[in-house]
Chain A
Amino acid sequence: DVKVTQSSRYLVKRTGEKVFLECVQDMDHENMFWYRQDPGLGLRLIYFSYDVKMKEKGDIPEGYSVSREKKERFSLILESASTNQTSMYLCASSPAPYHNSPLHFGNGTRLTVT
């Protein structure tokens, strides 16, 4: 079974802090994704990566960056956290090709920025 592990289940940070959200998958998947989930808005794609050191912007990349130095790990970085980034963050992975492969999600990180 695919396992996608997010480092923290709950996180509380202060405005202006640099925040790192870590995600690791154990199935050698090429593709990894970061989504945020907000009530009434569904899941919105922040960034995704289809290979090591490759990244592409999703629909809402502003205020975020990502890093993929190893195939199994995809990090989401909030350069300077703001209160409007309080949300549930979901990491996912999938095998290639990404446009028709099912996503496997982690348990999510609920981030609160105060």
Chain B
Amino acid sequence: GQQVMQIPQYQHVQEGEDFTTYCNSSTTLSNIQWYKQRPGGHPVFLIQLVKSGEVKKQKRLTFQFGEAKKNSSLHITATQTTDVGTYFCAVTSSNTGKLIFGQGTTLQVKP
């Protein structure tokens, strides 16, 4: 079945450094969603990308959808301790139409 690979699994950064997580699929995606889960919390929807090459920004967060619609990235500029958590990508399976989540990238930020 369709799988989505998310890397890295963990990332430790110093506050103020940048952070990027990547989501890769072997098949063309119709769309991709990004979620953030704070420690002890539940996933919260951040954004959805639909168009090839699309770039969207939310303050210090930049989301990008690849030209071939097979990969996506989430980049955080100048991390803060409030950015701590696990970031998940989620894609719609072309076979079943169901939403499939990546394994997540857990971000730790050292003050």
The answer to whether B9 touches A45, judged by C-beta atoms less than 8 angstroms apart, is no
User: Cα distance A95–B50 when bound, in Å?
Assistant: 17
Query: Cβ of B101 < 8 Å from any Cβ of A?
Result: yes
A sample of 16 inter-chain contacts (CB < 8 A) reads A42-B6, A43-B101, A44-B101, A45-B98, A58-B98, A59-B100, A90-B42, A99-B92, A99-B98, A100-B48, A100-B50, A102-B33, A103-B90, A105-B42, A107-B41, A107-B42
Q: How many B residues, CB 8 Å from partner?
A: 25
Q: Which of B2-55 contact A (CB under 8 A)?
A: 6, 9, 30-31, 33, 35, 41-45, 48, 50
Interface string of A20-37 (1 = CB under 8 A from B): 000000000000010100
Query: Cβ of B88 < 8 Å from any Cβ of A?
Result: yes
Q: How many A residues, CB 8 Å from partner?
A: 22
The answer to whether B92 touches A103, judged by C-beta atoms less than 8 angstroms apart, is no
Query: Cβ of B80 < 8 Å from any Cβ of A?
Result: no
With A43-B43, A105-B44, A108-B42: A99-B97 Cβ-Cβ less than 8 Å: yes
With A42-B102, A98-B99: A106-B45 Cβ-Cβ less than 8 Å: no
User: Cα distance A68–B9 when bound, in Å?
Assistant: 35
User: Cα distance A99–B95 when bound, in Å?
Assistant: 11
User: Cα distance A40–B50 when bound, in Å?
Assistant: 27
Partner of A40, one of B9, B33, B42: B9
The answer to whether B97 touches A42, judged by C-beta atoms less than 8 angstroms apart, is no
Interface residues, chain B, CB within 8 Å of chain A?
1, 6, 9, 30-31, 33, 35, 41-45, 48, 50, 88, 90, 92, 97-104
- Chain A binding surface, main DSSP class: mixed
Query: Cβ of A55 < 8 Å from any Cβ of B?
Result: no
User: Cα distance A102–B45 when bound, in Å?
Assistant: 6
Closest to A41 in B: B103
Q: For B48, what are the chain A residues with a Cβ–Cβ distance below 8 Å? A: 100, 102
Q: For A43, what are the chain B residues with a Cβ–Cβ distance below 8 Å? A: 43, 88, 101
Q: For A102, what are the chain B residues with a Cβ–Cβ distance below 8 Å? A: 33, 45, 48
Q: For A59, what are the chain B residues with a Cβ–Cβ distance below 8 Å? A: 1, 98, 100
